[in-house]
């Protein structure tokens, strides 16, 4: 097995794309592709970072020692560094999803609020044509269907987005706490 094949196998075992591995190593995705296809080898500092990321020795990465056979093929284990990288990528995704959800909710509220003015003006002109009364307070129209549902939806989106961000922060704190190692005696 070539060095490139070992890099590809470790990357796939960690559940990472070439793009994610490239981001972690500050190289282009094309560089990772060239390593894996054997067109190029990583520089020495990148080899050290790959070893740390996948929790393997340089001898193992470069194929200088025989690879141990997995004990249980039904439960493949991820190397420690790769697992942390996968967790960090998932954390960034949850964080972005939370803020995007909250932003969509805020945008919904803004558009709904701006739509109240034309609704009120339409009610005033209709009332003037038919000689009926109308409410001059714009916010009265916010309490009427379907606007009340739109405002409720916007508020729920904001709450869900903030909940995602907060839940992600708590999960990150829990994961950080579980990675701490007890001091050596």
pLDDT, tens digit, for every residue of 107-164? Answer: 999 999 999 989 888 888 888 888 888 788 888 888 888 899 999 999 999 999 999 9
* DSSP label of 146: T
**Residue-level pLDDT at 179:** 59
**Residue-level pLDDT at 163:** 94
Q: Is the pLDDT of residue 181 over 70?
A: no
Contacts of 180-183 with C-beta under 8 Å, sequence gap 24+, read none
Find the mean pLDDT for residues 99-110: 96
Q: Is the pLDDT of residue 31 over 70?
A: yes
Find the mean pLDDT for residues 93-102: 93
Name 54's Cβ contacts closer than 8 Å, sequence gap at least 6.
10, 14, 61, 79, 81, 82
pLDDT in tens, 44-88: 888 888 888 888 888 888 888 765 555 555 555 555 677 777 787
CB 76, CB 13: distance < 8 Å:
yes
Q: In the chain, what are the domain boundaries? A: 3-62, 83-179
pLDDT band at 91 (very low <50, low <70, confident <90, very high): confident
CB 126, CB 80: distance < 8 Å:
no
pTM of the model: 0.52
**Residue-level pLDDT at 8:** 92
Find the mean pLDDT for residues 7-28: 90
**Residue-level pLDDT at 56:** 87
* DSSP label of 17: -
In this structure, which CATH number among 1.10.3720.10, 1.10.260.40, 3.40.50.970, 1.10.1200.10 belongs to the domain 3-62? Answer: 1.10.260.40
**Residue-level pLDDT at 73:** 52
Q: Rounded distance, CA 145 to CA 102, Å?
A: 23
């Amino acid at each position: 097995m070539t060095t490139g094949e070992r890099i590809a196998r470790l990357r796939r075992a960690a559940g990472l794309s070439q793009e994610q591995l490239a981001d972690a190593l500050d190289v282009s995705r094309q560089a990772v592709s060239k390593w894996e296809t054997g067109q190029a080898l990583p520089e020495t500092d990148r080899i050290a970072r790959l070893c740390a990321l996948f929790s393997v020795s340089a001898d193992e990465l470069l194929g200088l020692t025989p690879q141990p056979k997995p004990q249980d093929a039904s439960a493949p284990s991820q190397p420690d560094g790769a697992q942390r990288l996968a967790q960090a990528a998932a954390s960034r995704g949850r964080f972005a999803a939370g803020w995007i959800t909250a932003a969509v909710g805020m945008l919904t509220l803004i558009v709904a609020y701006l739509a109240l003015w034309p609704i009120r003006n339409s009610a005033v002109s209709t009332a003037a044509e038919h000689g009926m009364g109308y409410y001059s307070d714009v916010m009265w129209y916010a309490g009427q269907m379907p606007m009340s549902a739109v405002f409720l939806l916007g508020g729920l989106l904001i709450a869900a987005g903030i909940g995602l961000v907060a839940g992600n922060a708590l999960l990150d704190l829990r994961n950080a706490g579980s990675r701490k190692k007890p001091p050596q005696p």
